[in-house]
A and B are shown apart, each in its own frame.
Chain A
Amino acid sequence: MDDVKQIIIDYIRKEFLEDDSDMEINENTSLISSGIVDSFSMVSLKTFLEKKYKIQIPDTKATPEAFDSVKHIMSLLKEYVNI
């Protein structure tokens, strides 16, 4: 569980934050409304998770709400994979 959480946070940090950013990200940080993740980068996050866990998340499930925090993303993941 914590592993998955850390994997997602690491990915977001590495892919979306500038190298010198001091922004804190925890499982409740709002990703979409804070502007860290936009609809554009959401796609790469989705692709990353799909590849990593060998699953398919239907586009209808990949809503901004479902991706708005690491916690939300984890509950989405749980529908498709045993984490």
Chain B
Amino acid sequence: MAYGSKAKEFYQNELKNIATAGLSKEERYIRSPQGADIKVEFPQGAPEMEVINFCANNYLGLSSHPEVIKAAHQGLDNRGYGMSSVRFICGTQDIHRELERKLTEFLKTEDTILFPSCMDANAGVFDVLLDREDAMIADKLVHASIVDGMRLCKAQQYVYKHSNMDHLKEKLKESQENRLRMIITDGVFSMDGDIAKLDTICDLAEKYDAMVLVDDSHSTGFVGKTGRGTHEHCGVIGRIDIITTTLGKALGGASGGCVSGRKEIVDLLRQRARPYLFSNTVPPVIVSAASKVLDIISRTTERRDKLEKNTLYFRKKMTEAGFDIKEGIHPIAPIMLYNAKLSSDIARDLYYEGIYVIGFFFPVVPRGEARIRVQISADHEMTHLNKAIEAFTKIGRKYDILGKNKKEIIEKYGM
């Protein structure tokens, strides 16, 4: 044991710096299943509160759906708890392959490989597909897991300004010399809820001979007419070479991720992707439940339709109430407050009104772009939405921000 005073003090100091910068994260204990109504203990040790949840990625409200829970039980009963092995030794059951087939069918791709998480999918995919002489051309705001995956890959990095297609074009021109090239973007960007311009991206990719990878974690299951994702929404089904996505959000929300796309790409990942080779995949319970989720959303678009209706209603009412909301159609509705303290003060006040939301500020979003990110779910009923709108209006009035635009809010509260 050599955890001496040097290491201890070093870590204590790091923690102190995080705290001084006001960046400490604190977990909130939820004492109920995930859903629209949850019981929360916050701060730790405080009495339990019943609140309406507006910060889960439970877009389709399937996290605690009875059919999904039943399928999880069946998975446990029929295929056991754990595999005690990675996929290629003795960790693959028939139901793993069946889930991969269902994902392929749902996403309308050629094949799919499961990963322990989408973080792992993104961490593993680039290093397998690209090498030193190749190029990765990524949107500046791609998810942290993609940034990490790109770091693990030797290919040359190019970054284009967020959703700036002219800049992307420049980067494609700059990288003409590279052997293989891949454009990399999130389908939906999780802080603003904006959708990548996949139609233009695909056009450019074809013109400049580059592949396209889209992380559709915040879209799979509900974006697009039948919920297939941003490729459906943008009319580019069949033109995206690689989709990475998660089972940890709309698709039941437990855990797991996948890479879905061109057959050769998926085959090669099965040979070489390190998180697939060296880590256990999702357990039978989750496989069985996720499989049921795909059955449900393939059978009917009822839940995504309700989510869409909820989203439009909430966005409309909140705009009418005088809030400054980033425009869009996604169930991520960013209520812009610009000032970090204001965003956390309002989130705290809302909590005591029974509305569970979180303030986001630098470094999660750019300085002066603080906001409360509201996430709508198909589990929300009109009563939930109306309660939230009422509470927001009450607190908005208290801070006198209703009807105020960016400039006026900043004048009042600073950046």
**Is there a chain A Cβ closer than 8 Å to B161's Cβ?**
yes
Q: Quick check: A44 and B367 within 8 Å, CB to CB?
A: no
Q: Quick check: B366 and A41 within 8 Å, CB to CB?
A: no
Q: Quick check: A40 and B147 within 8 Å, CB to CB?
A: yes
Q: Quick check: A18 and B161 within 8 Å, CB to CB?
A: yes
Q: Which of B157, B167, B366 contacts A47 (CB 8 A)?
A: B157
How many of A's residues come within 8 Å of B, CB to CB? 12
**Is there a chain B Cβ closer than 8 Å to A83's Cβ?**
no
Chain A residues 1 to 53 lying within 8 A of chain B, measured CB to CB, are 15-16, 18-19, 34-35, 39-41, 43-44, 47
Across-interface contacts of B362 in A (CB, < 8 A): 35
Chain B residues 250 to 270 lying within 8 A of chain A, measured CB to CB, are none
Across-interface contacts of A18 in B (CB, < 8 A): 161
**Is there a chain A Cβ closer than 8 Å to B69's Cβ?**
no
A8 to chain B, nearest CB (A): 16
User: Which residues of A approach B to under 8 Å, CB–CB?
Assistant: 15-16, 18-19, 34-35, 39-41, 43-44, 47
| A18 CA / B156 CA spacing, docked (Å) | 23
B324 to chain A, nearest CB (A): 18
Q: Please provide the 7 A-B residue pairs with the shortest distance between their CB atoms, ordered closest to farther.
A: A43-B157, A44-B159, A35-B367, A35-B366, A40-B147, A41-B159, A40-B159
**Is there a chain A Cβ closer than 8 Å to B158's Cβ?**
yes
| A34 CA / B362 CA spacing, docked (Å) | 10
- Cβ contacts A to B, 22 pairs, < 8 Å: A15-B161, A15-B167, A16-B161, A18-B161, A19-B164, A34-B367, A35-B362, A35-B363, A35-B366, A39-B147, A40-B138, A40-B140, A40-B147, A40-B159, A41-B140, A43-B157, A43-B159, A44-B157, A44-B158, A44-B159, A47-B156, A47-B157
| A12 CA / B161 CA spacing, docked (Å) | 12
How many of B's residues come within 8 Å of A, CB to CB? 14
Across-interface contacts of B363 in A (CB, < 8 A): 35
Interface of A is mostly: helix
Task: Tell me the nearest residue of chain A to B142, going by C-beta.
Answer: A40
Across-interface contacts of A41 in B (CB, < 8 A): 140, 159
B178 to chain A, nearest CB (A): 12
Across-interface contacts of A47 in B (CB, < 8 A): 156-157
Across-interface contacts of A34 in B (CB, < 8 A): 367
B338 to chain A, nearest CB (A): 14
| A35 CA / B159 CA spacing, docked (Å) | 15
Chain B residues 125 to 171 lying within 8 A of chain A, measured CB to CB, are 138, 140, 147, 156-159, 161, 164, 167
User: Which of B138, B159, B161, B362 is most buried by chain A, counting CB atoms within 10 A of its CB?
Assistant: B159
A57 to chain B, nearest CB (A): 14
| A81 CA / B246 CA spacing, docked (Å) | 46
Task: Tell me the nearest residue of chain A to B362, going by C-beta.
Answer: A35
Chain B residues 90 to 144 lying within 8 A of chain A, measured CB to CB, are 138, 140
B181 to chain A, nearest CB (A): 15
B108 to chain A, nearest CB (A): 31
B143 to chain A, nearest CB (A): 11
B268 to chain A, nearest CB (A): 25
A21 to chain B, nearest CB (A): 10
Across-interface contacts of B167 in A (CB, < 8 A): 15
| A57 CA / B199 CA spacing, docked (Å) | 38
| A40 CA / B138 CA spacing, docked (Å) | 10
Across-interface contacts of A40 in B (CB, < 8 A): 138, 140, 147, 159
| A31 CA / B7 CA spacing, docked (Å) | 30
Across-interface contacts of B159 in A (CB, < 8 A): 15, 40-41, 43-44
B155 to chain A, nearest CB (A): 12
| A15 CA / B363 CA spacing, docked (Å) | 20
Across-interface contacts of B138 in A (CB, < 8 A): 40
Across-interface contacts of A15 in B (CB, < 8 A): 159, 161, 167
| A16 CA / B158 CA spacing, docked (Å) | 12
